[in-house]
Amino acid sequence: MAVSTPSMLQHFHILTLTHRNAKLKEIGELVAAFEGQDQLRDRLVRLKDEGMVNEVFYASTCNRLLLLFTSDQVVDDAFKQNLLAEPIAGLSHLRHLSGLRAIKHLYEVAGSIDSLVVGERQILGQLRECQERCREWSLIGDDLRIITNQAVLAAKDIYANTRIGEKSVSVVSLSMQELQRHAPSRKSRILLVGAGQTNVLVTKFLRKQGYDNVTVANRTPARARQLAAGFANGSALAFDELDTYTGGFDVLFVCTAASTATITPERFSALLAGESPAGKIVVDLGVPADVAEETVQGSDFTYISIEHLRSLAEQNMDFRRREIEVAQSIIARHLTETETLYQTRLIERAMSEVPQRIKEVRHTAVNKIFRKELADLDPETRELMDRMMTYMEKRCIGIPMQVAREAVVR
């Protein structure tokens, strides 16, 4: 009898908390509750040992927590509160999806449709790492193996056949694109003011692009030296040495945590070290702006501001969002394929005993029912009978499997 779609997939569930229905702080607190004290494995194993789930897959990022699992239990508020030995308020906020809706959501996450940054490919890598970890912990069985593998295939299809990952939305990446538009020489003198996470990313881009003459200035000199060490011609300055710096620059990146402008007209003039501002490039990644408005108005240089980069990022994000409709059609196709694949797998499981049952029938026929008749046969006839029975046995095993598969795909 054919298995209906709802009952076939309804035991798949997702409980999730994302940037769409919670603050990042709330997500972080729930992630800490699951992963704290390196007890994630024990907490997930407990769910399986206590029979709450049959299989479970856990993933978390800075803006998402996701539990994909199979279970025949009712997933309600009581179920949510029992996920952790010591329940916390955030558990009740978990959004519940089941059946095809759960699987569809997983595919949307893998394809970066549901991401805070649409088209962010890193999410697929993160999910694959989580999949491997849960597999190593023996938390993923045949059901979740099928679904998580299909999620990877759907995501790859989206990235290959849409433009959802095109046009950068990272301000650091966009700043480097804007810089390359002005084509500065690879021998340009690069001055970085600030050594926070943003400028760490900037240094990675600079190394990749082949820039080597880099000076880093920071309030913590050790941090400046650490960043400058990544360049053969790198050097470091303490922040208070900027006003007496005589090395000049061709490109200035500035991003500090200061609440007021760092590059005042006076400091900018000092940094020029007697050179003309014409042809200089200044990239301001500070929030609020690190380059004073008076500095920008009073000098003739190319100014790349954070507001300009943000505007470009939003335009590019709009472009990516327009690709979501194409991506959804790809997901719909993969969901149909998943239903067929899973139904076929159910039939394979149900028929896994067929070969052994047929062997048992043959054994009974040879050793009990027709034992006397076979004993009276001459060796040649007995050998022919054995060959015929072996042939029939193989065909009897293969035909039902083939017919069942063909029935599923019709």
220 is in an annotated binding site: no
Task: Tell whether 131 is in a known binding site.
Answer: no
Instruction: Confirm or deny that 120 is annotated as ligand binding.
Output: yes
Sign of CA dihedral 252, 258, 259, 265: negative
Burial class (CB in 10 A: 0-12, 13-18, 19+), 135: middle
Determine whether the annotation assigns residue 327 to a binding site.
Answer: no
Is 63 annotated in some ligand binding site? Answer: yes
Beta-strand pair 214-218/55-61: unpaired
Nearest 5°: phi and psi at 290? -90, -15
| Helices within 137-230 (DSSP H only) | 142-161, 171-181, 197-209, 221-228
- Whether the Cβ atoms of residue 49 and residue 91 lie closer than 8 Å to each other: no
For the beta carbon of residue 182, count every other beta carbon within 10 angstroms: 11
Other residues' Cβ atoms within 10 Å of the Cβ of residue 409:
9
- Edge-to-edge order in the sheet of strand 190-193: 235-238, 214-218, 190-193, 251-254, 281-284, 302-304
Check whether 62 is labelled as a binding-site residue. Answer: yes
Known binder of ligand: residue 122? yes
Consult the annotation and say whether 115 binds a ligand: yes
- Helix pair 379-409, 324-350: axis angle to 10 deg: 150
Q: How far apart are CA 375 and CA 372, in angstroms?
A: 5
Instruction: Render the burial of 253-268: b for 16+ CB within 10 Å, e for the rest.
Output: bbbbeeeebbbebebb
Is-contact 136 41, C-beta < 8 A? no
- Element housing 56 (H / E): strand 55-61
Task: Check whether 126 is labelled as a binding-site residue.
Answer: yes
Q: Rounded to whole angstroms, how far apart are CA atoms 298 and 291?
A: 12
Please indicate if the annotation marks 336 as binding a ligand: no
Establish whether 195 is an annotated binding residue: yes
219 assigned ligand-binding residue: no
Catalytic residues: 62
Q: Token pair of 350, please?
A: 């149900």
DSSP string over 88-107:
-GGGGG-EEEEHHHHHHHHH
**Residue stretches of the annotated binding site:** 61-64, 115, 120-122, 126, 194-199
**Residue stretches of the annotated binding site for NADP(+):** 194-199
**Residue stretches of the annotated binding site for substrate:** 61-64, 115, 120-122, 126
